[in-house]
Amino acid sequence: MLPSIREFGRELREFINSPEVFAILPEGDWGAGGCWILARALMEFLGPPAELWAIATEHFDVEHVVVKDGDAYFDYNGASTKRELLAEFRSAYLNRRTVKLVPMTSRRIVRADEVGIPCEPHLVKRLRSMLEAKFRHTQ
């Protein structure tokens, strides 16, 4: 992964955990309830070819939502490779046999909402505006 992607990932992680950005979440944090809001806002901010992907297990079609852009995956930890992201979640989900990355499909979008991973459009819009204000000048 390019150093500039890693640097953006570090800056992103720091930015989303600043008090003013973190405060937009109605509950939980970026890893517990806010991941889809973050991923959707970041995907819109980055533009194509960025796309939504999910961590899936045999228990849930969607355990976590991330953004894939090239070889990089972005979430609340910043930028990761596929290997790093899967290793993190395999470690976190020791009771799961299967942990894999899959594209977000319309079926998975419905399932994410059913299992309590919300994606409120007004919060996505607000976070995207904050991302643009912070990072647009550096792209």
Task: Give domain limits for the chain.
Answer: 3-138
Q: What is the mean pLDDT of the chain?
A: 92
Which amino acid is present at 69? D
Which amino acid is present at 65? V
Report the C-alpha gap between 51 and 74 in whole angstroms: 10
Q: What is the mean pLDDT of residues 86-114?
A: 91
Higher pLDDT, residue 93 or 66: 66
- Exposure b/e, 101-122, CB count within 10 A at least 16 = b: beebeeebbebbeeeebbbeee
pLDDT of residue 137: 66
State pTM to two decimals. Answer: 0.92
DSSP helix, strand, coil percent of the chain (3-state; round to 5): 50, 20, 30
Element housing 14 (H / E): helix 3-16
In sequence order, which residues have a C-beta less than 8 Å from that of residue 110 and are 6 or more positions away? none
Report the C-alpha gap between 36 and 39 in whole angstroms: 5
Report the C-alpha gap between 99 and 121 in whole angstroms: 28
Going by pLDDT thresholds of 50, 70 and 90, the confidence category of residue 2 is low
Do residues 50 and 67 touch, judged by C-beta distance below 8 A? Answer: yes
